[in-house]
Amino acid sequence: MNEPAAPKVLIADDEVYMVRLLEMTFKKGGFAVVACRDGHEALATAYTAQPQLIVLDVIMPGLDGLEALRQLKENPLSKHIPVVVLSAKGHALTKVEAELAGAALFMTKPFSPNQLLVEVKKILEPKSS
């Protein structure tokens, strides 16, 4: 069996620098990165590109991260994809909301890239084994 192509991660964040940071982080982790700027775009991309992982920022113009997460989890096209929610507000309520909506991981910004990769690996590993 050939090793499949690099796993794909979809990043949705309206802040370009955050996208750059996440991009560097995931590229280091061996991911192929697809980035988009808001929730609506993220939904459309998730349905079509079928990434192995989705990273959502909570606060985005248009469709915010939590709402996007809910819609991703409702759609049979995307409900199997694990979602990481990033929030600058480390508010407990946001975390609870994200977890209730089905987030696989909730992280507050600023985060350590290495730690993010470790956590992400934990999410993705049980599937491959």
Residues making contact with another protein (CB under 8 A):
14-15, 17-18, 20-21, 24-25, 28, 59, 61, 88-89, 91, 93, 109-110, 112-114
Taking the least distance from each CB to another protein, the nearer of 1 and 93 is: 93
Closest CA to 42 of 64, 27, 15: 64
CB of 78 to another protein, least distance (A): 19
CB of 44 to another protein, least distance (A): 22
- Whether residue 53 contacts residue 120, with contact meaning beta carbons closer than 8 Å, is answered with yes
Taking the least distance from each CB to another protein, the nearer of 49 and 66 is: 66
Taking the least distance from each CB to another protein, the nearer of 82 and 113 is: 113
CB of 114 to another protein, least distance (A): 5
- Whether residue 59 contacts residue 81, with contact meaning beta carbons closer than 8 Å, is answered with no
- Cβ neighbours for 127, distance < 8 A, ≥ 6 positions apart: none
- ∠ CA(22), CA(13), CA(66), 5° rounding? 115
The count of residues in the chain is 129
